[in-house]
Amino acid sequence: MRRPQLQADHRDGCHYGLKTRLATEKDEEVVVRTFGSLGYKIIVHRNLTKTEMTRELYKVSEVDHSENTSFVCVILSHGNKEGICATDGTVELKNLTYNLKGDNCVTLLGKPKLFFLQACRGEKLDVGVVFPKPKRCEMKAGSAAPMRRRKPPPPKKIPLESDFFYAYATTPGYYAWRNNDRGSFFIQSLCEILPKYRDLELMQIMTKINRKVAYDFESSNRIQKYNENKAMPCFTSMLTKEFYFPK
């Protein structure tokens, strides 16, 4: 079965004052290699305007996905509280996903639509916190037998927002970090963990990615304010079933 994948990469920064995203080509390389190895068809777009970003995802909605099992979109760009930066301004994520909702793209109805977003979500800095020394404690636990519930009847319809999954490089309001030589913390970790643990369910994979970024990385910058900062990836799932990447 065909498995399309779309990647949008804003390599040269934006035309309204933001810096060039150094080493984003490193992220592009590992994304193409990783998802290509999983059998996804790769489509790459670079340096799109707001209208072009929306239009490309509209084109995806017009494709017949009857033989496709899932859709993946990876976006590498600058970002802010309002959304993702195109070359001519900021576009909200909801405007990009609108055409893929169940009423607009029937052949992706009930199928996972995964978005991996490498972009800042604000200008807050996470300086991190050092673990205190552990204290010894005793825990008493008890458990009750779970109640048996009847299996509900199949729904007659599902929500428009169902089966979307959003993975962010950082939590709302915070910077997302990128090494100017090796690429971004989040994308590099994603593409390292995914092939290694591809047999696990998506939530388990994402938890491993969260831990790796949280524990193994911190920023390095000559400006003290931006040095030794942390990032905490997060994800939001509206999936209605477990998701395993193709083998």
Cα(226)–Cα(127) distance, integer angstroms: 9
- Among this protein's residues, is 78 annotated catalytic? yes
Rounded to the nearest 5 percent, the helix, strand and coil shares of the chain are 30, 20, 50
Catalytic one among 78, 85, 105, 191?
A: 78
Name the amino acid, one letter, at 173.
Answer: G
Catalytic one among 14, 105, 120, 191?
A: 120
User: How many residues appear in the chain?
Assistant: 247
- Whether residue 6 contacts residue 58, with contact meaning beta carbons closer than 8 Å, is answered with no
- Whether residue 84 contacts residue 47, with contact meaning beta carbons closer than 8 Å, is answered with no
- Whether residue 120 contacts residue 170, with contact meaning beta carbons closer than 8 Å, is answered with yes
User: DSSP state, 183?
Assistant: E
CA angle 193, 194, 195 (to 5 degrees): 100
Residue 54 token pair: 């929306």
Cα(9)–Cα(27) distance, integer angstroms: 9
- Whether residue 128 contacts residue 230, with contact meaning beta carbons closer than 8 Å, is answered with yes
- Whether residue 23 contacts residue 178, with contact meaning beta carbons closer than 8 Å, is answered with yes
Cα(194)–Cα(116) distance, integer angstroms: 13
Place of tokens 């498995």: 3
- Among this protein's residues, is 10 annotated catalytic? no
Catalytic site positions: 78, 120
